[in-house]
Structure 1
Amino acid sequence: MRPELQISATNPEHPAALLDLPWELPLDAWPESCLVDLPRGISRHVVRFAEAGAEVVAIKEVPERAARREYELLRDLDRLGIPAVAALAVVTGRTGADGEPLEPALVTRHLVGSRPYRAMFETTLRPGTVNRLMDALAVLLVRLHLAGFAWGDCSLSNTLFRRDAGAYAAYLVDAETGQIQPRLSHGQREYDIELARMNISGELMDLEASGALHPSIDPIPFGAAIAERYGDLWHELTRESVYPADKRHYIERRIRRLHDLGFDVAEMQITHSPAGDTVSFVPKVVDAGHHQRQLLRLTGMDTEENQARRLLNDLESWMATQDDYAPGDPLGARPEVLAHRWVREVFRPTVRAVPLELRGQLDPAQVYHEVLEHRWLLAEQAQRDVGLPAAVADYVANVLPRSAAGTSG
């Protein structure tokens, strides 16, 4: 008795669109009429791009156990907010016209506007572009490791890139050898990075041998540079900083560096030393877009992402100074309670201190954001925290009049 074709999908709409594809044929025999010609990386399995309804999907023939495992891993990565292709379905019960079983298939959504890193290196790249690609790959590896994901097969062919404003963003495309754990050890991370270094250098040597690699790129140093950039980024993201208690602007400086690296700070762990003369700062980083939802949940304020990020950073720093702030203590004030107190006692008085006639078209969140920015600049000049009231006074006296004059002119 022939097995029935089964399509296990994440979305009820996908099975209907996928049913029209010729699953009774081996993937390497599919007709050109249903395929899409897109660049592919090197794979140990047969991979093709096809049209399924209104979208393009990538299909990979792989044993059922491996297909289901990778399907679940990709879904887990999606829930963790990790840049990776989206898993759509696992297709089993395939049989050919002769009744012989065919290998199951994993279906993922094609990442629009993306290309494999390998295809990118087959073109002429300027040094600045190469550096941005290395940064993007290092950031992807750090994101994976922070989430507890050991890739085990990082390579140029298993990575997709696409433009992200003036930079590049890297995406995982093959999770077959990966595993998720609560936390990766130093040895697990080092092993993953060593595999990445060898795979990347090896692929570049293949390109070099075929004459496709730009002569300015040396495969061995390039692979080593990926590992070095990863190490620098990991250190910056995970190290604990200890600052003098009166140098609060140092925390802001650290947060800015993290933003420049492409990470947002979701929350901060700030602790005072027993003597009260130093503070320790450990950030928790997330992908962009987190802060709007977080600020809306805590305060009811609906702002732009950059505004929300800045306001949440200030809120976190302020909460750490409150006597009833005790994370994990059921007797301590909940974050929502402290957040509304911050709105009432800090945010609103600061905004009201700025005369309406000088605000122009600035909304309250932008006013507060600009005050914080001015406070940062004053602190950098004075090499100490100047405090919010002084920053507001100087902002009203020296910044807004110039802004108003420029607007009217």
Structure 2
Amino acid sequence: MRFIFRPPAAHAAGLVSLPWEQPLEDWVDDRILEVAHRGISRHVVRFVEVDGLVYALKEIDERLARREYRLLGELEAMGMPAVSVLGVCVERPPVDGIEQDAVLVTRFLDYSMSYRYVFSHGHTSRPTDQLVDAMVELLVRLHLAGLFWGDCSLSNTLFRPDAGSIAAYLVDAETAEMHQVLSDGQRRFDIDYAAERVGGELFDLQHGGLLPADVDPVEIAAELPRRYNALWEELTREERFQPDEQRFRVAERVNRINELGFDVDEIELITTPDGTLLRVHTRVAEAGRHRDQLFALTGLQVTENQARRLLNDLVSYRGYLEQKEGRPVPETVAAHRWRSEVYDRVMAFVPESLADRLAPAEVFHEILEHRWFLSERAGKDVGTTAAARSYVTRILPRTPSTLTVLPGEDDAPAAVSRRA
């Protein structure tokens, strides 16, 4: 057998001792896990826990496995929202004279859910709208990067709560192709195929009684291309304006792109007889200005939306410190104090038994939302500490898990189950 693993090599070392010579579906090992909110796959997929980390193993044709390994690595290097690939096992020995497929190894995406889990566990009050919006944004990011997916669907996507919204991540790249630039025809194929698949998957949910009664799969399928085209047009359109409008119009366009959750990579201004032509090149990687800023100030690694929310609270806390102490407080000092006096103190209220419900930054965001609700009701600011106690006592226990690895059924009680 041949193992091809990406750094860090320490993670790969613990995986080598698994029974790779056996068909994946026959593996018997105490490191095997069953993930309750996994998606549906046409391949054999198993999950293992090694050195405290969870990995997804997919048995697939060797040619496709090598291709997907390379593509997922490229997407990760670009900062795209996709699962992280660790390695691939190829040239496995035959079993009873039959050649075995390769096994692709990816990191399990913490706090992620399949679309069926989102609908069945009520993680959001608007699951259809939020999932479609998340898929549209994911497709646009991939297309800007030059990736033709070829198999876009809810089943091939994982979803993760993100500061009140939902973020989507590509999880299956078997049919994907990387190009310098996608043609309109390639993009149209992807979006039309996605609409067809999403419609079918929503009909499946409807048949299983998981789809809200007011949701029409046909209407949602038709809405997906419309939302995609609107976002694509907003991010890529060219516009003309007069020279005296230049500063205002450029700033307006950049702000609009930032509001949509994207960053600007390059601005091109072309002088023409009819005025100035503006071309904005949108950055293909996952937006990260706020995420990078928060990490530099506090050491917290979160998503972009979560970072934006936490930075707002940090700014508010800095203003409170300056008013209380009657002097300017440097940003770095305020950030250090916010981390120790606010964020860490609030997160300490979350008991270990509830740590699987949401990512820590998402819990903090929810507590801030809960604080606003309680303050509105009380007619005064109740404070973050009181809001945290209330949220952890009343709200968090009722929140479905997004991290838990369970022994099979969605409603199983155990947090982690190993199956021998």
TM > 0.5 fold call: yes
Distance 2:243 2:331 in 1: 32
CA contact (8 A) 1:125 1:214 kept: no
Q: Structure 1, residues 160-202: CA drift from partner, whole Å, max 9, x if none?
A: 1112222221110000001011111111110111110011111
Distance 1:222 1:360 in 2: 51
CA contact (8 A) 1:6 1:91 kept: yes
**Percent of aligned pairs sharing the same letter:** 45
CA contact (8 A) 2:118 2:127 kept: no
Distance 2:184 2:43 in 1: 31
Q: Structure 1, residues 128-147: CA drift from partner, whole Å, max 9, x if none?
A: 44322221110100011111
Distance 1:196 1:169 in 2: 17
In the alignment, residue 74 of structure 1 is paired with which amino acid?
L
- Alpha-carbon deviation of 1:50? 1.0
1:193 aligns with 2:211: no
Distance 1:17 1:230 in 2: 42
C-alpha distance 152-292 of structure 1, shift in aligned 2 (>3 A): closer
Residue in structure 2 matched with residue 271 of structure 1 by the alignment: 270
C-alpha distance 123-32 of structure 1, shift in aligned 2 (>3 A): farther
CA contact (8 A) 1:61 1:103 kept: yes
Selected match of 1:160 from 149, 158, 162: 158
C-alpha distance 303-237 of structure 1, shift in aligned 2 (>3 A): farther
Q: In structure 1, list runs of 5 or more residues that go unmatched.
A: 296-301, 305-357, 365-409
1:33 aligns with 2:30: yes
CA contact (8 A) 2:57 2:104 kept: yes
CA contact (8 A) 2:92 2:100 kept: yes
Residue in structure 1 matched with residue 251 of structure 2 by the alignment: 252
Distance 1:146 1:234 in 2: 9
- Alpha-carbon deviation of 1:285? 2.7
Instruction: State the superposition RMSD in angstroms.
Output: 3.0
Selected match of 2:6 from 7, 10, 26: 10
In the alignment, residue 6 of structure 1 is paired with which amino acid?
R
State the SS of the aligned residue for 1:33.
coil
Q: In structure 2, list runs of 5 or more residues that go unmatched.
A: 299-325, 333-420
Choose between structure 1 and 2 for higher RCO, CA contacts under 8 A separated by at least 6 residues. Answer: 2
1:261 aligns with 2:260: yes
Distance 2:183 2:327 in 1: 51
Distance 2:290 2:208 in 1: 47
Which protein shows a greater Rg? 1
Structure 1 segment 292-307 matched on structure 2, within 5 A: none
State the SS of the aligned residue for 2:30.
helix
CA contact (8 A) 2:88 2:104 kept: yes
Alignment TM-score, normalising by the size of structure 2: 0.65
C-alpha distance 77-95 of structure 1, shift in aligned 2 (>3 A): same
- Alpha-carbon deviation of 1:279? 5.0
Residue in structure 1 matched with residue 62 of structure 2 by the alignment: 64
Distance 2:277 2:67 in 1: 44
In the alignment, residue 254 of structure 1 is paired with which amino acid?
R
State the SS of the aligned residue for 1:48.
strand
In the alignment, residue 73 of structure 2 is paired with which amino acid?
R
CA contact (8 A) 1:161 1:168 kept: yes
Alignment TM-score, normalising by the size of structure 1: 0.67
CA contact (8 A) 1:251 1:281 kept: no
State the SS of the aligned residue for 1:90.
strand
Residue in structure 2 matched with residue 394 of structure 1 by the alignment: none
In the alignment, residue 266 of structure 2 is paired with which amino acid?
E
- Alpha-carbon deviation of 1:79? 2.1
State the SS of the aligned residue for 1:246.
helix
- Alpha-carbon deviation of 1:107? 0.6
May I ask how many residue pairs the two structures share in their alignment? 302
CA contact (8 A) 1:7 1:15 kept: no
Distance 1:240 1:77 in 2: 27
CA contact (8 A) 2:269 2:276 kept: no
- Alpha-carbon deviation of 1:159? 0.3
CA contact (8 A) 2:58 2:105 kept: yes
Structure 1 segment 167-246 matched on structure 2, within 5 A: 167-246=165-244
State the SS of the aligned residue for 1:268.
strand
Residue in structure 1 matched with residue 134 of structure 2 by the alignment: 136
C-alpha distance 221-126 of structure 1, shift in aligned 2 (>3 A): farther
State the SS of the aligned residue for 2:143.
helix
1:112 aligns with 2:110: yes
In the alignment, residue 63 of structure 2 is paired with which amino acid?
R
State the SS of the aligned residue for 2:33.
coil
CA contact (8 A) 1:154 1:195 kept: yes
